[in-house]
Amino acid sequence: EPTQPSHFVRRHIQEDNASGRFGGKVVTRFPPEPNGFLHIGHAKSVCLNFGMALEFGGHCNLRFDDTNPIKEEAAYVESIKKDVRWLGFDWGDKEYYASDNFQQLYDWAVQLIEAGKAYVEDLNADEIREYRGTLSEPGKDSPHRNRTVEENLDLFARMKQGEFDTGAKVLRAKIDMASGNLTLRDPVLYRILKAPHHRTGDAWHIYPMYDWAHGQSDSIEGVTHSICTLEFEDHRPLYDWCLDALDVHHPRQIEFARLNLTHTVLSKRKLLQLVKEGYVDGWDDPRMPTVSGLRRRGYTPESIRDFCERIGVAKSNSTVELGLLEFCLREQLNFIATRVMAVLHPLKVVITNYPEGQVEELQAENNPEDAAAGHRTVPFSRELYIEQEDFMEDPPKKFFRLAPGREVRLKHAYIIKCEEVVKNDKGQVVELRCTYDPETKSGQAADGRKVKGTLHWVSAPHAYDAEVRLYNHLFVHEDPDDIEIPASINPDSLEVLKDCKLESSLKEAKVGDRFQFLRMGYFVVDSKYSQPGRPVFSRTVPLRDTWAK
Ligand code: ATP
Ligand code: MG
Ligand code: MG
């Protein structure tokens, strides 16, 4: 484990522990809105919130911020729980829903009205915006700002009972129409929405806004440190105002910079668009930056946590290279992935001096990085496949692979020499006729002469004919948020290879199993397209960062 660089969130918690502000307790929360699947940006927030709680011996709540029934679904709740668990975090029985607080939030709103700190507004959204003013000019008071407490109580109760149409009225906090912080110019606390909620059904016709629901939910749950992203910095005075007005437990809001990644969109709106319009095969498409997409792509939870640790926590927004995420993954896969041989673009090789019908079971090391991984046997026979790109008829000097008259070593096997090139009537190379040197078997005492190139190969009669899927970035541009979908989408982000020749042991591979295909990258058995006994492989990541400039 790398030593953790310290950061301001940790320092704030340490300060509060030292001053006894929360009696030494640390309670955080991860508060997703169930309106989509979690993505790598959420993973950063998960790691930070659960990480701080674990580090300080506290706990982290999983809170569903389910205050907008129009976009939320129970299926998203389930996917979020699965993903947080998969990332390696446990919220125990600390599972909360903002919607469970609807009655309390309503009662508190009534309390605000009674204290003269909130009023019912009839202006529509455009008018409210106009009256709010701008940073350079103060706002104007709404004509409804000075309604009496009685009138406000009556109207608010009737809003709740469903007497008014969606959008007809809102409840606003009465704060300061001249504030230098626009958020404090009488923010909206409640709106009318005639929409059923996935948990509360038809019970409510009004729903609290984020600013009214979030801080109070933090308070109800006994949260001590409410960690959120930078765009809520302007909302902090409002967060504090609400809790002060109610005189209830008052957590500390701390903001950090959200994660942005090159070649990646992280807005749920855009991710939903990719799914809905069919640019990907679902929220868990291996090209998606969702936690479920990364899982299907072959990412490990450890590598994602490592990434979140390395990028750290900052107070100003920046964009992280996607290559760093891939680096963290390779670091781990190098230790855990079984090495196998797979030929993605096959070229037939016949060993003319190898006896017909003979099969040798060669010993192959499963992982040179892990002695405990052991060995397996790999069949060798007269007919093999090698990679098309490992042969050149007229090679440059530095081409250390196969060419007419040249020798290479076959991994775990023998040195072979290319004697003859067979072409079809279009002049394409379709087969190589080679000889092998029986004295050069890998691992033998007389290992023979040195040759520069070592190729992977697969025995033709034993090969498992498989589909292999190769992925590229979904977006070619470094900052795809600058361009609209679909113009921003890489038309070549998926390459499906239909007749790859894989080492026979791979036929037994199970969904989620991870391998290094020698020289070709790390691969995983895909959960969507595999059939029992017919695994389909997806490339998780190439062996080297081919995108680095
Ligand atoms: P979107 O803008 O895509 O709708 P969101 O922030 O509204 O995302 P939420 O479900 O509200 O999505 O997010 C849950 C938590 O995850 C919040 O605390 C939010 O700040 C955090 N979060 C979301 N996106 C990122 C990101 N890119 N980097 C770090 N934290 C994030
Ligand atoms: Mg959102
Ligand atoms: Mg949000």
Residue type, 399: F
Q: Is residue 142 part of a domain?
A: yes
Encoded amino acid at 424, one letter: N
Average pLDDT over residues 179-208: 97
**pLDDT tens sequence across 299-320:** 999 999 999 999 999 999 989 9
Task: Decide whether any atom of ligand 1 lies within 6 Å of the 28 Cβ.
Answer: no
Torsion region of 169: left, alpha or beta (phi above 0 gives left; psi -120 to 50 gives alpha)? beta
- Say yes or no: 190 and 60 in one domain: yes
Same domain, 202 and 102: yes
pLDDT tens profile 496-505: 999 999 999 9
Of 21, 258, 310, 376, the active-site residue reads: 258
Same domain for 93 and 225, yes or no, is yes
Domain match, 348 and 238 both: no
Cβ of 462 below 6 Å from ligand 1: no
Whether residues 237 and 362 share a domain: the answer is no
Q: From the CA of 545, how far away is ligand 3's center (Å)? A: 33
Residue 49 shares a structural domain with residue 186? yes
Domain boundary among 456, 482, 509: 456
Determine if the peptide bond prior to 138 is cis (ω within 30°). Answer: no
**Ligand 1 within 6 A of 271 CB?**
no
**Of the candidates 183, 171, 72, 174, the residue with the CA atom closest to the CA atom of residue 117:** 174
Structure tokens at 189: 């606390």
pTM: 0.95
The pLDDT value recorded for residue 6 is: 86
pLDDT class for 5, splitting at 50, 70, 90?
Answer: low
Task: Establish if 501 belongs to a structural domain.
Answer: no
Q: Quote the CA–CA distance of 469 and 459 in Å, as a whole number.
A: 22
Helix (H, G, I), strand (E, B) or coil at 141: coil
Angle at 431 between CA 426 and CA 436, to 5 degrees: 155
DSSP element (H, E) containing 292: helix 291-297
Whether 140 is catalytic: no
Together in a domain, 222 and 99: yes
Tell me whether residue 405 is exposed, middle or buried, using C-beta atoms within 10 angstroms of its C-beta: 0 to 12, 13 to 18, 19 or more.
exposed
What is residue 359's predicted lDDT score, i.e. its pLDDT? 98
How many whole angstroms separate alpha carbon 240 and alpha carbon 217? 13
Q: Cα–Cα distance between 485 and 494 in angstroms, integer?
A: 17
- Pocket mutation for ligand 1, best pick of 7, 29, 35, 42 (most atoms within 8 Å of C-beta): 42
CB-count exposure of residue 484 (10 Å: 0-12, 13-18, 19+): exposed
Q: Is residue 276 part of a domain?
A: no
| Token couple for 385 | 């496949």
Both structure tokens of 454: 């070592």
Instruction: Find the catalytic residue in 169, 172, 268, 441.
Output: 268
421 Cβ contact list (under 8 Å, min separation 6): 393, 404, 429, 431, 432, 433
H-run or E-run covering 296? helix 291-297
Q: What whole-number percentage of the chain has pLDDT above 70? A: 98
Which pLDDT band holds residue 546 (cuts at 50, 70, 90)?
Answer: low
ipTM of the complex: 0.96
Looking at per-residue pLDDT, the higher value among 372 and 549 belongs to 372
Res 445: pLDDT: 55
147's tokens: 């309604």
Mean pLDDT score across all residues of the chain = 96
Cβ(229) to ligand 1 under 6 A? yes
Spatial distance between the Cα atoms of 81 and 38, rounded to a whole number of angstroms: 10
Give the number of domains in the chain.
2
**Residue bearing tokens 């790859």:** 500
Average pLDDT, integer, range 137-155: 98
- Structural domain of residue 197, as residue ranges? 8-256
Q: What is the mean pLDDT of residues 237-257?
A: 98
Same domain, 239 and 359: no
CA distance 509 to 522: 14
Q: Are residues 53 and 202 in the same domain?
A: yes
H-run or E-run covering 499 = strand 494-502
The HSE-up count of residue 302 (CA atoms within 13 Å, CB side) is: 9
User: Is 40 within 8 Å of 7 (Cβ atoms)?
Assistant: no
Do 98 and 207 lie in a common domain? yes
Residues 79 and 176 grouped into a single domain: yes
Query: Is residue 19 domain-shared with residue 154, that is, in the same domain?
Result: yes
Residue 341 has what pLDDT? 98
**pLDDT of amino acid 378:** 97
pLDDT, tens digit, 9 for 90 and up, residues 511-534: 999 999 999 999 999 999 999 999
**Which residues have a Cβ under 8 Å from the Cβ of 431 and sit 6 or more positions away?**
347, 348, 349, 350, 421, 422
The CATH number of residue 413's host domain is 2.40.240.10
Mean pLDDT within 152-176: 98
What confidence score (pLDDT) does residue 142 get? 98
Domain finish residue from 203, 236, 256: 256
Q: Which residue has the tokens 């999983």?
A: 62
**Active site annotation includes 431:** no
Residue partners of 88: CB distance under 8 A and separation at least 6: 301, 302, 305
Residue count (the chain): 549
Phi/psi at 382 (5° precision): -70, -30
Does the pLDDT value for residue 548 go beyond 50? no
- Confidence check: pLDDT of 2 > 60: no
Q: Note if 510 is an active site residue.
A: no
Cα–Cα distance between 491 and 369 in angstroms, integer? 37
pLDDT band for 443, please (50, 70, 90 cuts). confident
Question: What is the DSSP pairing of strand 360-365 with strand 375-380?
Answer: antiparallel
Which of 256, 277, 294 is where one domain is finished? 256
- How many angstroms separate the alpha carbon of residue 33 from the centre of ligand 2? 7
